[in-house]
Amino acid sequence: MLNRIIIINSELYSKADILIGDTTSIQLEADSNVGKSSLINTLNFLYIIDQGQMLFEGERKLKESIKHYFKTVNQSFVIFEINKSGYTYCILVKANGNFELEYYKFNSSYNEEYFFEKTDRGFAPISFEKIVATLLLKTQSKPEQLKADELYDIVYSKKQTTSLLF
């Protein structure tokens, strides 16, 4: 079950963090053009495995929308925290240098300290390499890159996913 959606360093959000939990419905209410549709459209990244089938605002395809969600290649992320049968893990989505999507699974719930560092002006997102090092240090597991079929199994299987990759 999808538990949480986190968007880091997109065109609209420095950080958006939506806790879904055990609710059966969510209501988003805000002024026009503040990112409600963009937030909802992030579900494309988790539930539509064929990237050619993803549609965004105004019937745009992924190629036209990817820079909207991933402002920088190494510091923009969409993270989905998932809980299946008491097992919590995250799927991290990022763009690579060719602005194609990459998916990673890590065996931990979302923790803000893994993704941000304190600066004199507040907090700033850290690089993907630092995230990998931090996760390895704090959780003793390295994020594993997922192929499309592995992502499909993780998202649509009713089983816990510890046995799917690890």
pLDDT digits (tens, 9 = 90+) for 107-159: 999 999 999 998 888 889 999 999 999 999 999 888 999 998 999 998 888 76
Hey, what are 133's tokens? 């090092």
pLDDT digits (tens, 9 = 90+) for 51-96: 889 998 888 899 999 999 999 989 999 999 999 888 899 999 999 9
Question: Which pLDDT score, from 0 to 100, does residue 24 have?
Answer: 76
Highest mean pLDDT among 14-23, 28-37, 70-79: 70-79
Half-sphere exposure of 161 (CA within 13 A, CB side): 25
Question: Which pLDDT score, from 0 to 100, does residue 163 have?
Answer: 43
How confident is the model over 25-34, as a mean pLDDT? 79
CATH superfamily of 2-111+144-159: P-loop containing nucleotide triphosphate hydrolases (3.40.50.300)
Instruction: Please state the pTM of the whole predicted model.
Output: 0.89
- How far is residue 104's CA from residue 144's CA, in Å, rounded to a whole number? 5
Helical segments of 97-159, H only: 128-139, 148-156
Query: In 10 A of CB 122, how many CB atoms?
Result: 8
Query: In 10 A of CB 28, how many CB atoms?
Result: 11
Please name every residue paired with 118 in a beta bridge, in sequence order, or none if there are none.
123
Boundaries of every domain in the chain: 2-111+144-159
